[in-house]
Amino acid sequence: MTSDQPSITKPIRFCGEPVSSEQLALITQVVTHCGGLSRTELANTVCELFDWARPNGKLKTVECRQFLEQLQARSALSLPAIRHKGRGKSEKIALTAVSAERRLLQGTVKDFQPISLRLVSTAQERTLFRELIERHHYLGYRIPFGAHLCYLIEVAQPTETVVGALQFSSPAWRMASRDHWIGWADAVRARHLQRIVNNSRFLILPSARIKYLASHVLSLASRRLVSDWQAKYHIEPLLLETLVDIQRYSGVCYRAANWLELGQTSGRGRQDRTHTRHGASPKRLFLYPLRADAREALQGDGGR
């Protein structure tokens, strides 16, 4: 493995576009710290970070994997060994009785304590998580390429019951209000981006009408995630982020859990390079520092 700054003499391009030294440094960091991912998963992660996608929104996974292998051939980084056992292709989630409506639960958090987060790790848990998100979340289920952790939300009273689901995954490469709040230039972002984790799915089941449950779960997650993320990816996350669709939700649970509201995105979406969808689907950005010095750590060497 080489140093964080690959020694490359010839200009590097991806699909004809120049790749900056900051981007190369981040690619090296992703490959180094996400050792459990396959080459294809690493390629998807890099594509998502840099918005390397086709006009139809599909990621340039094949081209990116070839690009990563070219970097490896030039001794710029070291990829995991090729996995000869192929992964199953993505397919529509079949909905079964496991994700069907549950009995109605009404009350406040104290009526159902203790409330816990179960890290999804078994095939049965993954099936339940996928079905719940596909059936009940307005965005449906998408394979979370790259670094990610999923949780099932459980209440203990009157019996142990799953009442929701949470997913955390890799952050966006650029987010103007987030980057401004941190004080990031491109070079600093490239060094520290993987210390941010995105809350990409949050579901409380319609049958769980439990007052204060959502904000309570967010507080549990902010305490639990750090150790789980470090255990899997060997990176200490410093900041959580999420985007809330303002046409559907107000973000009140994030405010109640002391997340910081940083304003509204342009609504272009990650794939809109021509600015034709400006304002089409604006989101409200919320951040949650996981350490008191998270902002300062993300600005300099303290976040490494």
Q: Tell me: the pLDDT tens digits for 37-83?
A: 788 888 888 888 888 887 777 788 888 999 999 898 888 888 888 87
Q: Cα(181)–Cα(101) distance, rounded to whole angstroms? A: 41
Q: What's the pLDDT at 269?
A: 47
pTM for the model: 0.71
Of the listed ranges 139-143, 145-149, 288-292, the least confidently predicted one is: 145-149
Q: What is the mean pLDDT of residues 87-110?
A: 74
Residue showing tokens 């529509």: 92
Of the listed ranges 81-90, 98-107, 120-129, 212-221, the least confidently predicted one is: 81-90
* Greater model confidence, 28 or 91: 28
Residue 136 has pLDDT above 70, yes or no: yes
Tokens of 200: 């990409």
Residue showing tokens 């997913």: 167
Q: What is the mean pLDDT of residues 155-173?
A: 90
Q: What's the pLDDT at 171?
A: 86
- What beta strand segments (E) does 139-264 contain? 148-155, 161-169, 196-204, 208-211, 239-245, 260-264
Q: What's the pLDDT at 122?
A: 93
Q: Cα(74)–Cα(11) distance, rounded to whole angstroms? A: 12
Q: What's the pLDDT at 280?
A: 52
Residues 6 or more apart in contact with residue 185 via CB below 8 angstroms: none
Residues 6 or more apart in contact with residue 9 via CB below 8 angstroms: none
Tokens of 181: 């709040």
Residue-wise pLDDT tens digits, 240-294: 999 998 888 888 999 999 999 987 876 544 433 333 334 457 789 999 999 999 9
Q: Cα(265)–Cα(267) distance, rounded to whole angstroms? A: 5
Q: What's the pLDDT at 82?
A: 80
Residue 94 has pLDDT above 90, yes or no: no
Residue 144 has pLDDT above 80, yes or no: no
CA distance to 28, 41, 71, 102, 119, per residue, from 75 (Å): 11, 20, 6, 54, 37
Do 108 and 212 form a contact (C-beta atoms < 8 A)? yes
Q: What's the pLDDT at 31?
A: 85
Distance of CA 196 to the CA centre of its chain: 9
Q: Cα(194)–Cα(238) distance, rounded to whole angstroms? A: 9
Q: Which of 47, 82, 30, 78 lies closest to 233 in space, CA to CA? A: 30
Residue type, 172: A
- pLDDT averaged over the chain? 83
Q: What's the pLDDT at 84?
A: 57
The Cβ-side half-sphere exposure at 66, using a 13 Å CA radius, reads 7
* Greater model confidence, 117 or 189: 117
Question: Residue 252 burial (CB < 10 Å; 0-12/13-18/19+)?
Answer: exposed
Q: What is the mean pLDDT of residues 20-44?
A: 83
Q: Cα(105)–Cα(107) distance, rounded to whole angstroms? A: 7
Q: What's the pLDDT at 147?
A: 81
Q: Cα(145)–Cα(46) distance, rounded to whole angstroms? A: 10
Number of residues in the chain? 304
Q: What's the pLDDT at 266?
A: 63
Q: Cα(161)–Cα(153) distance, rounded to whole angstroms? A: 8
Q: Cα(110)–Cα(201) distance, rounded to whole angstroms? A: 25
